[in-house]
Amino acid sequence: MLVISKIKPFFLSSFLISSIAFSQAHNVSEGYQKPTDPLVVQNLEQWQDMKFGLFMHWGTYSQWGIVESWSLCPEDESWTQRKPEHGKSYYEYVKNYENLQTTFNPTQFNPQKWADAVKKAGMKYVVFTTKHHDGFAMFDTRQSDYKITSPKTPFSKNSKSDVTREIFNTFRKEGFKIGAYFSKPDWHSDDYWWSYFPPKDRNVNYDPKKYPERWENFKKFTFNQLNEITSNYGKVDILWLDGGWVRPFHTIDPKVEWQRTIKVEQDINMDKIGTMARKNQPGIIIVDRTVPGKWENYVTPEQAVPEHALSIPWESCITMGDSFSYVPNDNYKTSQKIIETLVKIISKGGNYLMNIAPGPNGDYDPIVYERLQQISGWMDKNHSAVFATRSIAPYHDENFYYTQSKDGKTLNIFHLDDKTNYESPSTLRFTIPDHFKPKSLKVLGLSNKIQWKKSGNSIEINLPKERTQLKYSTVIQIVQ
């Protein structure tokens, strides 16, 4: 992920984002450009219908149960501290980290088990980390031997060793849109972190203008890996590019703290990459995170939900636990918290990309499956208020959150409560948009006819005793 160590709320792009996690936050770039390619527009519209997606950070680092990649970076040491048993010096640590390749053997890897569980919970697309900043490829690249399919990696002997292929094929078969996360920086590449110099921070550790041939080699390396991902792995719907510090120097926003650390030109030629990706995958959504322009087709607040509805396509990527990577005994969010977050995101017009990190054995923690099962029970009753909906003013009024069907004929009102265990009240009063003329009303999950009355643009409903069976929220659906 693209990480900043500040944990306080901050203003960005003229709206407020509230950070909701321990150490990671993310700004949204200004200057959104709406795609003009009709296939991209169509894909983006379908993606906005899907609302709920699965993010997976997985790599050799899961064996140590540490933050993904970032302990290799000489910055942000406060929250990515290296444990002394993993190396007494920085260089010993890097060597031992890279040697994790030689012990990585996730024999319980079974993507069908994941797909079955998350599909029931309502997730409809997946974004998988094909390569994080550490440079370890979770796909069968020809550009490097630092990969899961290398003979150096024990799991290479497994018939499912190309985990990217297995995940993409399995989830595609289950009707998911397929997203490939890919880190533009590569801290293992001698053409990005050149061994002649020590790394100073997350950025390239030499001046590409002073050593243009080396930078050109890195550009070719990156292009070739992205060509492999978009050529060799079936239909890919989303190319999710992380590492926004690899960007043309003129695009730096000096108001953003981490962008001020970029001191040299790191233009990787996104026009060439994007054109190639669209040739290989017509209509592919490209997300060049934080770099405004035609290759950032939607924006990606991280571990945060915008305070207000946004008029552009967006997605909050938020962890189910505290960490994007696998950490033993992680603090997983409750099902109620996850559903509340989903409702708050979709009422503001966004998608919720929830990260679940597989462990070194190749599976999720058992508690993850419990959470997904609980979410699926709620989703069975309330899915019509979630999927293929759009935001509608007033978006959010006290404990009520609103969505509407795309044809504008159905209004959905979610009642939430910040109590630990949700209890549906006997009476609910809420406003509806002035132009909306209700003809019928029901509470999803209840078969009883609901008593209701309208006064001006306010509605009052009385709920039956059976309301006690409503979990996590009360969802009212009104048709005009």
What are 189-245's pLDDT values in tens digits? 999 999 999 999 999 999 999 999 999 999 999 999 999 999 999 999 999 999 999
**CA pair distance 58, 138, nearest whole angstrom:** 8
Q: What is the pLDDT of residue 27?
A: 59
CB 194 within 8 A of CB 264: no
pLDDT tens digits for range 324-348: 999 999 999 999 999 999 999 999 9
Report the mean per-residue pLDDT for the chain.
Answer: 93
Q: What is the pLDDT of residue 46?
A: 98
Closest CA to 358 of 121, 57, 87: 57
**CA pair distance 205, 195, nearest whole angstrom:** 9
Burial string for 224-257 (b: 16+ CB within 10 Å, else e) reads: ebbbbbbebbeebbbbbbbbbbbbeeebbbeebe
More confident residue, 227 or 311: 227
List CB contacts of 247: < 8 A, sequence separation 6 or more.
Answer: 262, 266, 267, 268, 288, 290, 291
Q: What is the pLDDT of residue 12?
A: 34
Work out the pLDDT band at 136, boundaries 50, 70, 90: very high
Residue type, 179: G
pLDDT tens digits for range 12-68: 333 333 333 333 345 566 789 999 999 999 999 999 999 999 999 999 999 999 999
Per-residue CA distances from 345 to 314, 389, 417 (Å): 10, 12, 16
H-only helix segments in 51-198: 90-98, 111-120, 163-173
Q: What is the pLDDT of residue 54?
A: 98
Closest CA to 124 of 57, 180, 55: 55
Judged by DSSP in three states, 402 sits in: strand
**CA pair distance 439, 125, nearest whole angstrom:** 34
Residue type, 110: N
Q: What is the pLDDT of residue 7?
A: 27
Q: What is the pLDDT of residue 78?
A: 77
CB atoms within 10 A of CB 398: 11
pTM exceeds 0.85 for this model: yes
Q: Determine which of 16-25, 62-71, 114-123, 284-293 has the lowest per-residue pLDDT on average.
A: 16-25
Strands, E assignment, 398-463: 400-405, 410-415, 427-431, 440-443, 451-455, 458-462
Look at residue 406 and tell me whether its pLDDT is greater than 80: yes
Look at residue 77 and tell me whether its pLDDT is greater than 90: no
Q: What is the pLDDT of residue 418?
A: 81
pLDDT tens digits for range 180-190: 999 999 999 99
**Cross-strand pairs, 147:** 137
